Amino acid sequence: MDTNSCIIRGGTVVCADRALPDCDVVVIDGRIASIEPVGSSDFDAQPDATMGVLPVVDARGAYVVPGLIDIHSDYVENVASPRPSVVMDLSTSLYKADRELVSHGVTTIFHSLSVYGAHVFDHKPIRNFGNVSALIDRVAGLREGEERDHLIRHRLHMRVELDSVDLYDDIEGFLRSGKVDLVSFMDHTPGQGQYRDLLVFGDTLKGYRDVSDEEVRAIVRQQQESEKLTYAQITALASVARERGVSIASHDDDSEDKLAFMDGLEATISEFPISLDIARAARARGMHTIAGAPNVMLGHSHSGNLSAREAVQAGAIDVLCSDYYPAALLDAVFTLRDQCGLDIAKAFALVTINPAKAAGIADEVGSIAVGKRADVLLVREISCGSCGSSCDGAARTMPVVTRAFVGGRSVFRSHYPDQPCGYGRDTEQLVSLEQLSRPLVEAV
């Protein structure tokens, strides 16, 4: 399909607060023009003279949902550096990530690139500041071809570790450049935050490096004594971010004092709060709270901290991110529906409208609503088939993206041979604008 106008017909449209069965979504010139029950639209806008008919996409049996918005993902690091000693061409890596991410339903990605002082766990060349700088520049360049040369929307989340003292001027320069969309302040010093339990820190470190207990203790001392960005420097960087319209996030919040400081910086996001009480406190301050979708899938935090499932059910987490595993976003939505009883619209809000609000882009994307950019997915539940003894013979389904639109353009399509909906594989037909108010012949 080479147009940015179409009718997505007959699916269950998942809006920000409810699901609407058997509805049409009419897309004109890349924006959502109408959401109506099948065949009832009286849409009367006039298209360009070159557009006589609109393609109709058969979405019966599918969920029609907003494109997923991932505001914390370091996945591109794995694409660009598939082995610790290898860094592939960065521009090529972004194109490869483009294709992979859209297959998982991600239509807006915030590449989370880290600015570190010391590399404690392992040394990834992709995290050398030269490579990080080059990636920031390339991500910024992708915007010029958005909705034309790329499948999805690329944004930049700069993660600033507090030990990056020597890079202060560079960080400030990037914030002023307009290339950064979200900045987070991180402190992975052992003894607080994510690694407040030193035994967990030691076990994690040993998973990356062959070190003795004595070496672990030496690293802990070194990290605890290392120079950090001062409160004044953090405050100055946050001020620049606010001036440039860059959203601000805290990271691994573990105390009311830290929340109060970040709230004073006008941070709108608390990433990975350590406990349920802290997550609730952040929400009480009006901050968006983020947990990892892999946490939902695993049923627990890999570092022994907050359970995302528990926190979502308690209303303490309102955003999920992929963190390191993009496939988890869509799976987490259906896991929360099936295993936690969460309403499907509320589950999808965690990965669509809520992150859009957190990042300040909800006016354009994040929900299926009239006037917004038509970033839309068709999601179907298909049979897992024969998947071994773990299924115990029970019938299971899994969600898959069978169609993705960005700015109304079809950017991804997949076919599964056995779709339980029974309506074929997102077939298309053409309809003139005059036919919009009349039911269509079943697509074949």
CA distances from 191 to 69, 195, 214, 217, 300 (A): 33, 6, 16, 11, 21
Which residue, chain included where needed, has tokens 């799976």?
331
Residue 377, Ramachandran bin (φ over 0: left; ψ between -120 and 50: alpha; else beta): beta
Task: Select the CATH number that applies to the domain covering 68-189+226-359 from these four: 3.10.310.10, 3.40.50.10860, 3.20.20.140, 3.30.420.10.
Answer: 3.20.20.140
**Residue 378: closest CA among 387, 370, 368:** 368
| Model pLDDT, residue 416 | 77
| Model pLDDT, residue 84 | 77
Backbone angles phi, psi at 338, to 5 degrees: -80, -35
The model's pLDDT over 280-311, given as tens digits with 9 standing for 90+, comes to 999 999 999 999 999 999 987 766 678 999 99
Dihedral, 28, 34, 40, 46 alpha carbons, nearest 10: -40
CA distances from 290 to 87, 112, 199, 221, 238 (A): 30, 14, 25, 30, 20
Backbone angles phi, psi at 325, to 5 degrees: -140, 90
| Model pLDDT, residue 63 | 98
> Does residue 93 contact residue 80 with C-beta atoms inside 8 Å?
yes
The model's pLDDT over 138-160, given as tens digits with 9 standing for 90+, comes to 999 998 889 889 999 999 999 99
Rounded to two decimals, the pTM is: 0.86
| Model pLDDT, residue 347 | 98
Q: Domain coordinates of the chain in residue numbers?
A: 6-65+369-413, 68-189+226-359
CATH class of 6-65+369-413: mainly beta
From CA 266, how far away is CA 241, in angstroms rounded?
10
Mean pLDDT (10-residue bins), the chain, 444 residues: 85 96 97 91 45 83 97 94 88 94 98 79 77 94 90 96 91 96 84 61 65 70 73 96 96 91 95 94 97 92 80 97 96 96 98 97 97 98 64 71 97 77 52 48 30
